[in-house]
Structure 1
Amino acid sequence: MKYLKFTVLIIIYLMISLQPVEAQKYQGHGKGSVSEINLKKFAPPKVDSNQLKRIQSILDIRSPSSGIPAEDGKSLYYTWNVTGTTQVWKVPSPGSFPVQMTAGQDVTYLLSITPDSKRLILVRDEAGQEHPGLYWQSTQGGRLNEIFKKENVKMYYEFTSDDSEYIYFTTNEKDEKSLALYKFHLPTKKIETVFDKPGKWYVADYKNTGELLLVKMTGNISREYYLYHQKTKEFKALFGQNEKESYKARFTTNANELIVKTNKFGEFHRLYLWNDGKFKSITPEWQYDISSFSIDRKRQRIVYSVNQQGYTTITALNAKTLKELTLPSFKSASHVYYGSMSRNARYMSISVAYPDRPGNRYIYDWQTNKLTEWTKVSLPEEELVNYPADSLEYYTTRDGVKIPMFVTRPIQCKNKLCPVIVTFHGGPESQSRPRFDARKLLFLEKGYVLVYPNVRGSYGYGKSWLNADNGPKRLDVITDIEDCAIFIKKNWQVLGQSPKLAIKGGSYGGYSTLVGMSLFAGAYDVGVASVGMSSLITFLENTAPYRRSLRIAEYGDPIKDRVALEQLSPITHIQKVKDPLLILHGANDPRVPAGESIQMYEELSTKQVKVDLILYPDEGHGIRKRHNRALNYAYMLKFFDEHLQGK
């Protein structure tokens, strides 16, 4: 009997010890969710100024956004982070010296120019909290004038009425789980409610007659479309109801017609004309996605972009005849993007990205067919003679699927074994794409081969690929993370020796990094995780309420899918972690709470594992401020050098 009791105790002990580790029960997100003790304990350590010199010089290589052209085509407004923080700038004429319109340490973005050309509509966020304020500023400069700003309230700008009197925006002020529509009257500064049915709403388009094309977000990519008349309050369902399909739509010149981008009828997104419930395709059935489209305010031209295996081209159509229009060509460009169109439909901004040098910004005049370069590339103290372009390659998974990946190899690693850094993108409905990125130089110069996979669940490879990781299905494809490491170690050997391997990423890429270091421990030699989820359950419980239902549609329900979510959570496999891990996070993050990183660190710090955690007290979901970005790269480089090259 004595031995029986002892045996039972041993069995109970083993059962308990083999159970998944329960995630620490932190609470909350964003500003104030991290204790002062932890902010002090995990504060960014000082870095010698000599170590930052090269990083700072690389951060000086920057390109502005595509910008918004003025109605007369005589000036261009855009956002640029040349000061270290993204601010708004104005170029008075092509190639002229830019004029800084906004300033300070808080990120400021340009959203629109009012139809009368008198005001810029701007948004400003404080310390990465993602509760931005909406402002207007004279196109001649001057102070910012508040339209809407409230503590802990989410806000999105929608549009400005054609008479320049009303600014429309959505907020979750009344219900933190919903987004209602409001309008601000510029002359009187009064705000009134336009539409406040429950749900997360935004405006896809509008007419001067008062009709609004409203969209209800029902999932991570699924949308429902409705027609709402502001005067009569008539509310009519159009399409997407009780579906899980992706749609984007705009009005055309015809009364009851819409142009729609959707992949409902096939694997890839195409453009359709919708009328009275019927869809008619107007673009070919390609084996790649139309990633976006726009139509000018006068409904004269449709411009759309095509994603071809990660490379981007644009096409224009006459909105009435649907005949293709001539656009400028850019030799050797990796990506050509259309930007904003002037309201008079004459001017369109275009931005171009190249594989081996910074991109540039142009304005295209539809009337004269003239393309004008507006900004000059700045390469302070750099020549970029040997900057290697990305190559599109593939690795094969255990179930025989070919995964696309972009690879950047330093010239010095052509016939030499070099360590490899694999970076997984965020999203997860995103895509790694080839382009020049000056920050890559920091790693290439040190002899690191850079790999950017687009695992199943990434955008740009069809609907089945995109949805392959939804909910519990993620269990079937999460092995793509480990299979990348297996492939590289086997196929990139030099003289029988496999390269050392690192994994890194931010947001979902940070989660992928934690998965690679825990569930697939040993696959990678070192990891750097930024703003990543350590537990999908505590993440879904604590992320901002306005995001929760959308994220549940992607990851799974915390109750119904709890078993799968536990198995997919890195903290469940904490006992397996054995290799060095650096964790980075912004304390004000409202999307992935900093508690996700803190609980992972606390569990690992009790074990014989090298783990470091750094919290930025003035950042959110990502590192935005220049000084912090320089520190962030210094920490990563030091960590990789130490654990991949023994420096």
Structure 2
Amino acid sequence: MTQTDTEYGVARYLAVEHVDSPAFTPDGRLLFLADTSGTPQVWTADAAGAWPERLTPHEERVSVVAASPTDERFVFGMDRGSDERDQLFRYDLDTGAETPLTDDPDSIHAWGAWGPDGDRVAYAANREADARFDVYVQRVGDADSDPGDPERVHEGPGGWLGVEAFGPAGRRLALSKPHASSDVELSLLDLESGETRTLSDDEAAAYSHVQFDGDGGLYCVTDHGRDTAYVGRFDLDSGDLTPVAGDADGGDATGEPGTDAWSVDAFAYDRDTGRAVFAYNEGGYSSVAAGTLDGTEFAAADAPAVDGIAAGFAFGPDAERVAYTHTAPAEPYGVRVCEFGEREATDWTPVGTNGVPRESFRAPETVSYETFDGREIPAYWTLPAGVDPDDADEAVPAIVDIHGGPEHQRRPWFYPTKQFFLNRGYAVLEPNVRGSSGYGRAYAALDDVDNRMDSVADVAAGVEWLADRPAVDDDRVVAYGRSYGGFMVLAAITEYPDLWAAAVDFVGIADFTTFLENTGEWRRSHREAEYGSLDDDYELLKEISPLSHIDRVRCPLFVQHGANDPRVPVGEAEQVVEAVRERGVPVEKLVFDDEGHHTTSRENLIEEFERIAGFLDEHV
């Protein structure tokens, strides 16, 4: 392995703070999540760059923070052992008192929205049946009264159901029911009558960032009738959906890689002022727009200039300020704040780097490579510092890092473990193979059901591209991926076994049939829409499962999992490790008893990546 810089331990990189999820209280206090203590907790800072104050004192991760619209309180969600069974808590900023709203640790409580008067919250939970989410409304109480009991106001149809927004009069809720990542049903629930009315039609489309406008309309980000997503408005009387902003070329454009038609992927709206801000995903980077919405009319204003990725927009009181999460390839996650209508933003939560020089962080080059059917696959390509891309005399090993999802997108955010491996002399290729989001509906659907293995062929084409890079030693290429990306790793080393020197699989799917049989019941129908169903596609699912071809594995394999994983059960790791070990191929297993689908404890993360680094040092 070629060393080009001072080598820093992984603990230094993992201790670079991750700050996100800004929320303003009515008094203008800014709340956010930060993992300064080792797991995400709620913090606040009174001024830009001021020493932050930690508000929640827990060792378990906080997953969501939502400020009250009327007073100085917030609700936060927290699970146990990364099991994703969030419980909700009320926090009173004046006293620091925490009050549980829910106490059902066997159930998931998915945060929804505050009521407009700040006296109630709405959320979805699978309290009655594991496979079905229902809608609950609950009074939150105050310093002089206890919270009320949850009231089930709607029984869901089965599977996941989400609460998107509370109506301005407190009488309606907007609900979302995903049938698949690209097919969401949007409806209204009348809290007085209990009746629901479906807003979306039979055309498959995604809907997100849903907000009532207070004037008989509902704003959302959607790709209905389009290949790329835009801001649209439902007229709640007629049910008509009208594009109001961000509609690429009047809907005729495609987001296929190689074009410049981009989707809106973040949106915030202030009902009192009509002010709005949203972001386009331009090949992974953000371009922000702002202005005022009046029904279906949008009047543009200046927006913050962004040099990376912006998301999680939140308006302050009277919409005079807007906060958002910002990151860039060499810039850790933090919260920025700007005045509405201004171009310049302030780093509210500047993040240190624990003595690792910022100039040592490497930014990727955006590239593309041709795959088997002539399509161009977009990717990010990063060489370690000091490596001459044309010098074959000191060629370096390369990691092919495959994202999860599958309808997800690798973006050029700050990725501390990527910087760690670059510092250790590994080049990194991050492909957005077919099936990735961010490039339009058609591209995202290219790997569905029968076409699953085409995306694996895209990974192999990426390795062929690497072979043409003089600075890369093509005998030392590593397959690396998490979740669905873990499946892609296992598929790549079984379908193309001669390409790889080693592989690292985090919480990956080894057998689609056992995965679908054992995943959370509430997820099964949604995942079957993407992968194929146990009833109709069993033989196909078996054929494309890496476990069915595990005898082809040649390279050493590292497998990581969490015992509490509700998405990809730990049995997937157990069976692939056993099968590879029986063949005499080197395999190393790391299972954390106190983690789930994600490793959330910094202590565990340090152990995880120290062991992976040692494994790669030995085999690559």
Q: Which residue of 2 aligns with 1:278?
A: 240
Within the candidate set 601, 608, 616, 2:592 is matched to: 616
* Pair 1:460-2:424 in alignment: no
- Range with bigger deviation, 370-379 or 204-213: 370-379
* Unmatched 5+ stretches in structure 2: 1-6, 250-260
For 2:149, give the aligned amino acid.
K
The alpha-carbon deviation at position 214 of structure 1 amounts to: 2.1
The alpha-carbon deviation at position 424 of structure 1 amounts to: 0.3
Q: Which residue of 1 aligns with 2:153?
A: 194
- Range with bigger deviation, 372-381 or 458-467: 372-381
* Unmatched 5+ stretches in structure 1: 1-51
Relative to its length, the structure with more strand (as a share) is: 2
Aligned residues of 1:297 and 1:345 also touching (Cα < 8 A): no
Within the candidate set 283, 286, 291, 1:312 is matched to: 286
Task: Provide the C-alpha distance between the structure 1 equivalents of 2:601 and 2:610, rounded to a whole number of angstroms.
Answer: 14
Within the candidate set 498, 515, 531, 2:491 is matched to: 515
Spell out, residue by residue over 1:498-548, the C-alpha distance to the aligned partner (whole angstroms, 9 max, x if none). 352001111011111111111221121100100001001100000001111
* Pair 1:469-2:447 in alignment: yes
Provide the TM-score with structure 2 as the length reference.
Answer: 0.90
Task: Provide the C-alpha distance between the structure 2 equivalents of 1:310 and 1:556, rounded to a whole number of angstroms.
Answer: 29
1:463/1:570 Cα in 2 relative to 1: closer, same or farther (>3 Å)?
Answer: same
Aligned residues of 1:65 and 1:80 also touching (Cα < 8 A): yes
Q: How does 1:300-339 map to 2 (within 5 A)?
A: 300-320=274-294, 321-330=297-306, 333-339=307-313
* Pair 1:358-2:332 in alignment: yes
Match of 2:499, SS state, is coil
The alpha-carbon deviation at position 386 of structure 1 amounts to: 3.6
* Pair 1:264-2:224 in alignment: yes
Q: How does 1:209-608 map to 2 (within 5 A)?
A: 209=169, 210-240=171-201, 242-248=202-208, 250-253=210-213, 255-275=215-235, 276-282=238-244, 283-286=246-249, 287-298=261-272, 300-320=274-294, 321-330=297-306, 333-342=307-316, 344-366=318-340, 371-414=345-388, 415=391, 416-489=394-467, 491-493=468-470, 498-608=474-584
Spell out, residue by residue over 1:347-399, the C-alpha distance to the aligned partner (whole angstroms, 9 max, x if none). 32123323333354222233898844422231221222243211011121111
Provide the TM-score with structure 1 as the length reference.
Answer: 0.86
Aligned length: 587
The alpha-carbon deviation at position 476 of structure 1 amounts to: 3.6
Spell out, residue by residue over 1:449-480, the C-alpha distance to the aligned partner (whole angstroms, 9 max, x if none). 01110000000111111011112221343311
Match of 2:101, SS state, is strand
For 2:490, give the aligned amino acid.
L
For 2:122, give the aligned amino acid.
Y
Q: Which residue of 2 aligns with 1:145?
A: 99
Aligned residues of 1:328 and 1:371 also touching (Cα < 8 A): yes
For 2:449, give the aligned amino acid.
G
Over the matched positions of the two proteins, sequence identity in percent amounts to 26
Task: Provide the C-alpha distance between the structure 2 equivalents of 1:221 and 1:313, rounded to a whole number of angstroms.
Answer: 23
Task: Provide the C-alpha distance between the structure 2 equivalents of 1:225 and 1:66, rounded to a whole number of angstroms.
Answer: 24
Within the candidate set 69, 74, 79, 1:120 is matched to: 74
Task: Provide the C-alpha distance between the structure 2 equivalents of 1:124 and 1:291, rounded to a whole number of angstroms.
Answer: 26
The alpha-carbon deviation at position 442 of structure 1 amounts to: 1.8
Spell out, residue by residue over 1:172-213, the C-alpha distance to the aligned partner (whole angstroms, 9 max, x if none). 111222211111222352221211142332222222330222
Task: Provide the C-alpha distance between the structure 1 equivalents of 2:367 and 2:172, rounded to a whole number of angstroms.
Answer: 48
Task: Provide the C-alpha distance between the structure 1 equivalents of 2:587 and 2:360, rounded to a whole number of angstroms.
Answer: 35
Aligned residues of 1:298 and 1:343 also touching (Cα < 8 A): no
1:273/1:114 Cα in 2 relative to 1: closer, same or farther (>3 Å)?
Answer: closer
Q: Which residue of 2 aligns with 1:35?
A: none
Q: Which residue of 2 aligns with 1:130?
A: 84
For 1:285, give the aligned amino acid.
A
Spell out, residue by residue over 1:247-299, the C-alpha distance to the aligned partner (whole angstroms, 9 max, x if none). 23645546443334322322211223333243333234251111132212426
Match of 1:115, SS state, is coil
Task: Provide the C-alpha distance between the structure 2 equivalents of 1:510 and 1:475, rounded to a whole number of angstroms.
Answer: 14
Task: Provide the C-alpha distance between the structure 2 equivalents of 1:541 and 1:474, rounded to a whole number of angstroms.
Answer: 19
Aligned residues of 2:203 and 2:224 also touching (Cα < 8 A): no
Aligned residues of 2:21 and 2:64 also touching (Cα < 8 A): no
For 1:271, give the aligned amino acid.
V
Aligned residues of 1:335 and 1:352 also touching (Cα < 8 A): yes
* Pair 1:205-2:165 in alignment: yes
Tell me how large the CA RMSD over aligned residues is.
Answer: 2.2
Q: How does 1:4-19 map to 2 (within 5 A)?
A: none
1:374/1:181 Cα in 2 relative to 1: closer, same or farther (>3 Å)?
Answer: same
Match of 2:465, SS state, is helix
Task: Provide the C-alpha distance between the structure 1 equivalents of 2:312 and 2:498, rounded to a whole number of angstroms.
Answer: 44
Task: Provide the C-alpha distance between the structure 1 equivalents of 2:431 and 2:185, rounded to a whole number of angstroms.
Answer: 32
Within the candidate set 109, 118, 125, 1:155 is matched to: 109
Task: Provide the C-alpha distance between the structure 1 equivalents of 2:123 and 2:471, rounded to a whole number of angstroms.
Answer: 57
Aligned residues of 2:362 and 2:385 also touching (Cα < 8 A): yes
* Pair 1:104-2:58 in alignment: yes
Aligned residues of 1:115 and 1:343 also touching (Cα < 8 A): no
Aligned residues of 1:589 and 1:620 also touching (Cα < 8 A): yes
1:373/1:579 Cα in 2 relative to 1: closer, same or farther (>3 Å)?
Answer: closer
Q: Which residue of 2 aligns with 1:68?
A: 23
Match of 1:169, SS state, is strand
The alpha-carbon deviation at position 410 of structure 1 amounts to: 0.9
Spell out, residue by residue over 1:116-159, the C-alpha distance to the aligned partner (whole angstroms, 9 max, x if none). 32312011111111111110111145342110131321111111
